[in-house]
Chain A
């Protein structure tokens, strides 16, 4: 029972991260290696506002998400846009940014782990299991956010433009959809999702400069397993990985979780490179 509840919480955090990562790939065809940096930026922004700025927890976390979204837009506008013609250059610039952020945070905060206070304290009993309320909140908010994203893409005009670009960028440009603006918007959205994952999970994990790296590697794994660019695929793979990991953590040891996900990626690439729900041939 515990495996199911905690597995669902883990899955939801992974899904938030992976959906943002796959969204920016699906729309702008960018592998954003700064995705982990977004995660870290949000954690530190919340930390600074709460501990140094004395803000209450909820506004601080919302502000952290907003700051990260703006950071994402800035990264796209300033760094990615001029290099968009070369895949390798985009990979390099996003990696360089992620390293610069990590090292910058290390310099500023001396690399020590910090912690964030939870939004809500206490424990709740679900299905006969005692779960920290923060974890349950994480699950709930994640589901709501992903649902909202889904509705936004399917129902709104902006969402329709995003879909159009992801399916046929040239045709979209032809009918007058401003591709660059959409790319920046999607980068912001993607950063906001990573930031939400960060502020929700940091209270029961911790805040440190390299905090983004492992979650980002997991996001890669999830996205490859689910199929690059496929949002439902990412959600499915996030659940698969989240539950498997929790199961392994309960029965063997939690340290093996990254190893399992990477092994799964290599198996997937060898057997079915398109991923579980991927149809599209990668660029």
Chain B
């Protein structure tokens, strides 16, 4: 059964790796690269919010902080762009700890509200501190991570594959089991002797690490950092990808991120239309496809495939697929 998952993943990665060979042109390749970066974000968001069921409306906080600090490192301190990556990860993790400590030890809506407020305020703060952050203009003239667009595409692909592999691995580990238990019933987790707060903050820090990583990649891809990274619209797009992909599945949001980025890029000239599409997609997903589209589609496909190979079902693995309760 696992071999089908592995096979599917290899096939998908091989297809993505082969795409530049078709000579798609710089523009399309750029859009694809953006999709890969969104994939890292969607997987990172899903790891915390999809598994534990704690809505995070301020994921832009981690993305923006990662991108800005990566940008500062590059433009102010003239460090190598590659050095920005660990900086972005570190900044994301620290921010997660700072926001998580006061809010995640509480039950109820405090985390959701505080994350939203924190990202909105950070966007304001960037504008207020324009002397250092460049205000609306943001940071410009960053060094590229690698010279050619094709090379950057492969760098982004490598990071996406690595991130998704790590997050998938973790979500099927004991840590993932505990996080899904937290989504089910926090009090029962405590009765099982688990420090729920510790696990929630830990998963937020892991989630934020990938937000920061993607932020730095994005900065060195656009060669520019702007305050919109902190915005609700940013978080909203990522949340929609996770919902369309299937909460808690990690791979679903990754696929949805790539597909949606490509699809909505067609709407880029219309700016607002693109975000309107995301909001409407999210509403539709909430009502009509509670488990998303990508993950259930894959589950159905692999059932069909495995029925072809041998008839024995494996209830245990199926049960680990994301539940219906959000």
| Chains A and B bind each other | yes
A-B contact count (CB 8 A): 127
Contacts of A166 in B (CB 8 A): none
B55 in the interface, Cβ–Cβ < 8 Å? yes
Q: How far is the CA of A88 from the CA of B280 in the complex (A)?
A: 17
Contact A99-B233, Cβ < 8 Å, known A255-B128, A259-B124, A262-B118: yes
In the complex, the chain A residue whose C-beta lies closest to that of B98 is: A266
Contacts of B114 in A (CB 8 A): 224, 265-266, 269
Q: How far is the CA of A95 from the CA of B56 in the complex (A)?
A: 11
Contacts of B113 in A (CB 8 A): 31, 220, 224
B286 in the interface, Cβ–Cβ < 8 Å? yes
Cβ contact within 8 Å between A96 and B283: yes
Contact A262-B117, Cβ < 8 Å, known A99-B279, A107-B273: yes
Q: How far is the CA of A93 from the CA of B240 in the complex (A)?
A: 11
For chain A, what secondary structure do more than half of its interface residues adopt (helix, strand, loop), or is it mixed?
Answer: helix
| Distance of B219 from chain A, by nearest CB (Å) | 24
Contact A92-B116, Cβ < 8 Å, known A100-B279, A269-B103, A269-B106: no
Indicate which residue in B55, B121, B125 contacts A217 across the interface (CB closer than 8 Å): B121
For chain B, what secondary structure do more than half of its interface residues adopt (helix, strand, loop), or is it mixed?
Answer: helix
Cβ contact within 8 Å between B120 and A214: yes
Cβ contact within 8 Å between B326 and A100: no
| Distance of A125 from chain B, by nearest CB (Å) | 34
> Would you list which residues of chain B between 245 and 287 have a CB under 8 Å from chain A?
270-273, 275-276, 278-280, 282-283, 286-287
Cβ contact within 8 Å between B287 and A82: yes
Query: How many chain A residues touch B (Cβ–Cβ < 8 Å)?
Result: 43
Cβ contact within 8 Å between A107 and B276: yes
Cβ contact within 8 Å between B110 and A224: yes
In the complex, the chain A residue whose C-beta lies closest to that of B287 is: A82
> Would you list which residues of chain B between 72 and 131 have a CB under 8 Å from chain A?
99, 101-103, 106-110, 112-114, 116-118, 120-121, 124-125, 127-128
B152 in the interface, Cβ–Cβ < 8 Å? no
B236 in the interface, Cβ–Cβ < 8 Å? yes
Contact A259-B121, Cβ < 8 Å, known A86-B326, A266-B114, A269-B103: yes
A89 in the interface, Cβ–Cβ < 8 Å? yes
A111 in the interface, Cβ–Cβ < 8 Å? yes
> Would you list which residues of chain A between 73 and 88 have a CB under 8 Å from chain B?
79, 82-83, 86-88
Q: How far is the CA of A88 from the CA of B51 in the complex (A)?
A: 12
Cβ contact within 8 Å between B276 and A104: yes
Contact A217-B117, Cβ < 8 Å, known A95-B236, A258-B124, A273-B106: yes
A213 in the interface, Cβ–Cβ < 8 Å? yes
B interface footprint on A32-45 (CB within 8 Å = 1, 0 otherwise)? 01000000000000
> Would you list which residues of chain A between 93 and 145 have a CB under 8 Å from chain B?
93, 95-97, 99-100, 103-104, 106-107, 111
Q: How far is the CA of A32 from the CA of B79 in the complex (A)?
A: 44
In the complex, the chain A residue whose C-beta lies closest to that of B57 is: A95
Contacts of B142 in A (CB 8 A): none
Contacts of B239 in A (CB 8 A): 92, 95
Which of B103, B125, B232, B278 lies at the interface centre, i.e. has the most chain A CB atoms within 10 A of its CB? Answer: B232
In the complex, the chain B residue whose C-beta lies closest to that of A100 is: B279
Show 13 residue pairs from A and B whose CB-CB distance is below 8 angstroms, ordered by the A residue.
A33-B57, A82-B287, A86-B326, A89-B286, A92-B239, A93-B283, A95-B239, A97-B279, A99-B233, A99-B275, A100-B276, A228-B108, A282-B109
Which residues in A have some Cβ–Cβ distance to B below 8 Å?
Answer: 25, 31, 33, 79, 82-83, 86-89, 91-93, 95-97, 99-100, 103-104, 106-107, 111, 213-214, 217, 220-221, 224, 228, 255-256, 258-259, 262, 265-266, 269-270, 273, 281-283
Interface pairs A-B: 8 shortest CB-CB:
A282-B108, A100-B279, A103-B276, A99-B279, A106-B272, A262-B121, A269-B102, A96-B282
